[in-house]
Each structure stands twice: as structure tokens, then as C-alpha cells.
Structure 1
Amino acid sequence: MSNLSRARQPPTFGLPWPELNDGLFYNDVVRAADSRLTLIQFYSSKHNNSAPPKGWLQRIENGQITVDGTVVTDPNTILRVGSELVYHRLPWNEPEAPYLVEILYEDDDMIALNKPPGLQVLPGGLFQQRTVLTQLQWWASKETSSLVCQGPHPVPVHRLGRGTSGILLCAKTKLAKTRLAAYFANGTSHIESSSKTSVDLCATRKVIKIYRALVTGIIGEDKVIIKQAIGMVQYPGVAKGLYVATSSGKPSLSKVEVLERDVHKNLTLVQVEIQSGRPHQIRIHLSFIGHPLLGDPLYAIGGQPKFFGSDSVEDNFALDGGFLRPANPVPGDCGYNLHAYQVVLSHPTNSEVIKVTAPLPSILQTNQSAQAISTD
């Protein structure tokens, strides 16, 4: 096994974000079922998750939509079958996000990054440029390696929540991307409760993910196995719905080990191995057993959101015509303490067992390890 947990200080890359991003262009083609709709009817019905009707009206009158290459500002323009529509989302200043990323491991096929909290992995919502993917694109364009320059730029093969820090695996070749993605999909679809070693597990599951988390309350048992299913419910401000603990969801498995209990502060430091990889699984599972992550703005005891109230009314919209930021917490909000600490995987091309470890934030270190570091 290649153990990279005690590597020297990892290299760092990243460019500062520009004040404004480049904006976006969204393309549509009018189909037969949508013919005879007006321009405002088309956008307010087909893309109602992007903006309320009055927001789309503003965008149309602002000249941000073209029909067959011509700017159209009349919202009552009748559409014809086959017409090409383009909506230009104007450049905007994205919310603050870190930009420096550490390289924990790299070879010709893959790269393991240490993602800082607050940095989104892939474009979505307000974050279209300030992402790990963008930094990888910029980094690859500056590399002198012929592999990087001639091939596609590295791409993440899984996700971490914006507020989660730690190991993010990225593929540098098409083969590595296909195999690593299959590793994660297989781990989620085949949930088992065996207690094999990491090396044994890599023979069947190919990838093992271990996290550190700080939760509220004192967990009494030293080890807890959580098998609560995770599914989606409607939630204001989240167009596709919010993942929560629900009996109608998909099977999920988390193995929790208590590392330290702080009775005075009413906190427990835990290590979590997730055998499945449902979105927000650790946050949901730990809150489900009554111990939400310290600082989690979204999930409360029971694996449910803290707030289910209605969101802003239709007449309120942002300067770009879109919906205002939801009043209630949403999944991308940060503040919780969760770190992807260690990944053990079978290398995608040579099957060597690789172990990568990301340095722990001080708040997620045990007292014993923190004392050892301070005396080094």
C-alpha cells in the first residue's frame, strides 16, 4: 500500500477570482408543444425555478434574450417551432470563496486535492466560476506537462459539500474518470455491514472514505452504525428538493466511531466511514441520531431541516431578475465542522492500494494528537 499520510508540505495552486464572472448563456429550441406561446409564457413556465414571472419580464425588457439571433424585448412575441432562444445571464460578483487548493497526491492518472471549506466543487447557483473545477482548468492551462497540455483538464469524480473540507479525487484521463466514478457508484449501490480491513475492502468496494466531524451532545456508545434511508422532500429555495432522513429514501450506511467526548462543552469528536455516498449523508445521519454537526445551519435532530417555512413572495426578486437568496438555510451554507480525512482506494489503472490523508483542522484533532503536534 502506498501510504501518503505523512507526505511533506503539499504544493498549492490557485488564482485569485476576478471581481465579475463571465456570465452565462442558456440555449433553448422551441418544440411543437411550445409553439404559439409568448416569450414570457415560455420562460416563466419552462424555467420557473430560475426567476418569477416579473423577473423574466425584467430580463426580456433588458434585452437579455435573443430569438434566432435577434434581441427581442417584447414579452408578448409569439414563438415558432424550431426557433432558437438564448438567455444571457449577465456577469455578476459571486459570493466570497477561497481559491487556494492543496495537492495531496498526483500521478499521470489522478490527483487528490485538499479542498478548503467554502469552495464549491462544480458550478451551480450563484457559484459558476468560483469552483474547484475552474481552478483545475486554470491550473491545467499553465502546466508544462505534455499530458496535461494535450489531454483534458482534470475533473472531480465525486462531490464534497461547499462547507466540507478535505480530500477530493479528480481524474486526469478518461479511463481514470470512468473507473473512479464507477468506484463511487459501486460503493453506494452495494451496502454491506462487514468489518473487514481497509485493504480487504478495497478488493470489493475499491474506495473507502473516512471523515472527521464534531457534533453536538455526548454520544454514549463508542461505535454506532446508522442505516437510515435518505430521500428528498420539497423545500423552499431548493428547486430539486432537499435530502433528508425518510423511510421512503434510498439505503444509506454510516459507521461512526467516537474519538473524544468533551462533557464540559457538550461535544463529541467522531470519525465516520461512509459505505454509501448519499448527498449530505453524514450531516443527515448524525442529526438523525440526535447529534447534528456543530455549526450546521440546516439540519436539526431527526435528520430534518430546522425550518420548513415558506420562502419569499413572487414580487421580490434580485437585481438580475432571479429569486432572492432564500430566507431559510440551504444545503450550500457553511459553518459546520466536517472534513474528508482519509481515502483508501484501488488505483484506477494499476490496482495498487493508495491511501491519502488530508491534514486535520485543529478543531477536529484529538487532544492527544494536537498536543503531539505542538511539541514537534
Structure 2
Amino acid sequence: MKKSNPTPLLLKFIAEEQILLRDFLKLKGLSKRALTAVKFEGGRIIVNGEERTVRWMLEQGDQVIIEFPPEEVGEGLVPELGELSILAEDDSILVVEKPAGQGTIPSRNHPNGTLANIIFGKYVIDQHFATVHVVTRLDTDTSGVVCIAKNRHIHHLMSTQMQQTRFDRRYIAFVSGWILEDTFTIEMPIGRKDGSIIERIVRPDGQYARTDVLVTGHFEIDGSRYTIVQLQLHTGRTHQIRVHMEYIGHPLLGDDLYGGPCHLISRQALHCRSISFKHPTTSKNVSFESELPQDLLKLLPMEMKSQEGYKVNFSG
């Protein structure tokens, strides 16, 4: 795919009061890194049609446009053509559904065909010259909603939301055994397992991790019992749900890395059902949902087969 001349990435604001431009940009969440890129890498700050420096004094009603320079993309990210299931898109964010079996970003084991490769291919066609900023990454065999920021500034704003626990992510999982409690919280630190570059475990010197669990159903096949749970993440540690469920003795079905039985499904039975957050430029609360894929629908008991009736819902 051949690149054409880049179209600038723009953010537009209206000043609400008299304020120094530098302070105004800080209030709008512009990071020092983004401001440095605008000042020294080919971007511009335009006030009422005139280019200005951060020392300019804004008046109420002034229009401020931030023109970001084109972002450099690492050599490891190659644009590819492929199908995308788009839930929503605007100038700031792209929300898509990722199927199980597809990597989110290129890696040694999955250098091509990842979600990022295909999104970058879309960017090239759309003449949107930015790298792919993944806000909510999913494991290769986890399906569901993924949020992408369409430039580095938006990524910064979204990451800040996640750090302040104002970004809501909810999952559906099928786990081994019967969980008798209705709701509970797992707060156990997670770290890398000694001798492994992939596997994580609960360990005292790990990073704080919190997962809320809501039990929504049970089923039994050939004498083996299973539980359907809905989970809310408050932190985003690698393999968090898989590690926490294994720790309490209920590993995910299909999760051979963490001891889950694999005779009912060939991948971990985990789906990101919904994400909710404050839109980074409009400040409106937005929410996006992904229906269960067919391989997980087959595991549902007959009385829960209706997609409409199977919603993620946590009290509090």
C-alpha cells in the first residue's frame, strides 16, 4: 500500500475565559511529550487562524486548533488488508471487535495478521497518518471489544482515565467447577512466574490487581460442573482474569496455560463484553458491547441462550 501526503491530525477547542495558552493546553490534557512534538516536529498551534506560541494570551471565545505532526510508525508494524468489525469510529477513537485467535499487536509468534496490522492498513487507505495506539489490549485467544486511540494525545487521555479507574471493562468467562458465592472480589498481586517470559502468578511482590466477580449461572456436562461468571477489571495486569481465576481454583475452560480443561473449547473461554468511558474530546459517557461469539454461545445452558437477556450487570 502506497502512502500519500499525510493529512494533519487536528484538535479544536474554544477558550472559555481569558487564559495563557500554555495553561489552557494543560487544562485540556495535552501532555508535555505531545506539546514537544507539536513545537519541534512539524506541528502548529493556531489561534483564530494565526499561528501562536504557548505564551499567547487567549480571550474568551478564541478558537484554538492543535495540528499534530505525522507520527512515525515502527518498522515492525506493516499495513495489511483484512476484515474489521467496527463498533464505532470518529476522529479520536476506533472501537472494534477482535475475534479469538487474532493477536492484538505484532509479536515474535504473530508478526502478521494482527488487529494492529489491519487497522494500520485502514489508516493508510484513510490517509490517517498515525501509529496504532491500543488502549485495551486482549490476549490472542480472548475475543471481544478493543478500543484504539487515533493519535498519541488521545492515547494519553485514555491511559490517564484507566490509571484513575474511570475506564470500565467487563468480561464473560466460563470456568471449571461450581462457584457457590454470588459476588466477590479478588485482590491479589500478580507478577511474572520465575523462569517464564509468558506465565504470571499471584505473588506477594507482584503488582496490585483487583477483579470483581459475579456468578450468573452453572451447568454440568458428563458429570463435570462449570460456572459462568461476569467480571469487572479495576486494573489491567497481564493475564489478570486467567491468573485470578486459577488462583481461586476455578481456571477458565480451554486455558491450558493455567490448568483449565480443554475438552469443551480449544481456547480460553473469555470474552470482553463491554467497555465504558468518558469520551476523550466530548467528555460524554460512552459504552460499547460485543455479543458472545458462537463458540461461547454453545456453552450456555438452554435457558441463557437469548443474547438479549444476557447482559453484563454489576451492582454498585
Q: TM-score range by the shorter chain?
A: 0.5 to 0.7
- In 1, Cα distance between the equivalents of 2:302 and 2:280? 36
Partner in structure 2 of residue 155 of structure 1: 133
TM-score where L is the length of structure 2: 0.65
- The partner residue of 1:261 within 195, 208, 218 is 218
Q: Residue in 2 aligned with 1:359?
A: 291
Q: In 2, Cα distance between the equivalents of 1:131 and 1:234? A: 28
**1:106-154: CA deviation from partner (whole Å, max 9, x where unpaired):** 11110111001111111111211221111011111222xxxxx154154
Per-residue deviation, 1:269: 0.7
- 1:116–1:166 Cα contact (<8 Å) kept: yes
RMSD over aligned Cα, in angstroms? 2.6
Larger radius of gyration: 1
Other structure's SS at 1:180 match: helix
**What per-residue deviation string (whole Å, max 9, x for no partner) do you get for residues 258-295 of structure 1?**
11111444111110001011000000001111100001
Shift of 1:245: 1.2
In the alignment, which of 229, 232, 240 is matched to residue 273 of structure 1? 232
Residue in structure 1 matched with residue 203 of structure 2 by the alignment: 246
Question: Which residue matches 1:292?
Answer: 251
Runs of 4+ in structure 1 off by over 6 angstroms are: none
- The farther-off stretch of 126-135 and 345-354 is 126-135
Q: Structure 1 residues 152 and 142, CA, compared in 2 at 3 Å: closer, same or farther? A: same
Q: 1:366 to 1:278 in 2, by over 3 A?
A: farther
**What are the residue-to-residue correspondences of 1:1-376 with 2, within 5 Å?**
100-143=83-126, 149-184=127-162, 186-187=163-164, 205-236=165-196, 238=197, 242-264=199-221, 265-300=224-259, 335-362=267-294, 363-364=296-297, 367-371=302-306
The 1-side partners of 2:306 and 2:171 are apart by 21
1:11-37 residue CA offsets vs partner (Å, 9 max, x unmatched):
xxxx9xxxxxxxxxxxxxxxxxxxxxx
- The AA in structure 1 aligned to 2:204 is S
Residue identity matched to 1:291:
H
Point out where structure 1 has 5 or more consecutive residues left out of the alignment: 1-14, 16-88, 90-97, 144-148, 188-204, 307-333
Question: Quick one: which amino acid aligns to residue 358 of structure 1?
Answer: S
Amino acid at match of 1:271: Q
Show the counterpart of 1:76: none
Which whole-Å CA distance do the structure 2 matches of 1:371 and 1:158 have between them? Answer: 27
Q: What SS class does the counterpart of residue 235 from structure 1 fall into? A: coil
Q: Which amino acid aligns with 2:85?
A: E
Tell me if the contact between 1:269 and 1:366 (Cα under 8 Å) persists in the aligned partners: no
Question: Is the partner of 1:159 in helix, strand or coil?
Answer: coil
Instruction: Give how far 1:335 is off.
Output: 1.2
The alignment covers a number of residue pairs equal to 222
CA distance in 2, matches of 1:338, 1:99: 23
Query: d(CA) in 2 for partners of 1:150 and 1:342?
Result: 26
Distance 1:154 1:369 in 2: 37
Q: Which amino acid counterpart does residue 139 of structure 1 have in structure 2? A: K
Q: 1 CA distance for matches of 2:124 and 2:234?
A: 35
CA distance 1:372–1:207, change in 2 (3 Å) = closer
Instruction: Find the residue that maps to 1:286 and give its secondary structure.
Output: helix
Q: Of the two structures, which has the highest relative contact order with CA contacts closer than 8 Å and spacing of 6 or more? A: 1
CA gap of 1:341–1:366, structure 2 versus 1, over 3 A, is farther
Aligned counterparts of 1:99 and 1:212: Cα–Cα separation in 2: 27
Give me the whole-angstrom Cα distance separating, in 2, the residues matched to 1:218 and 1:150. Answer: 49
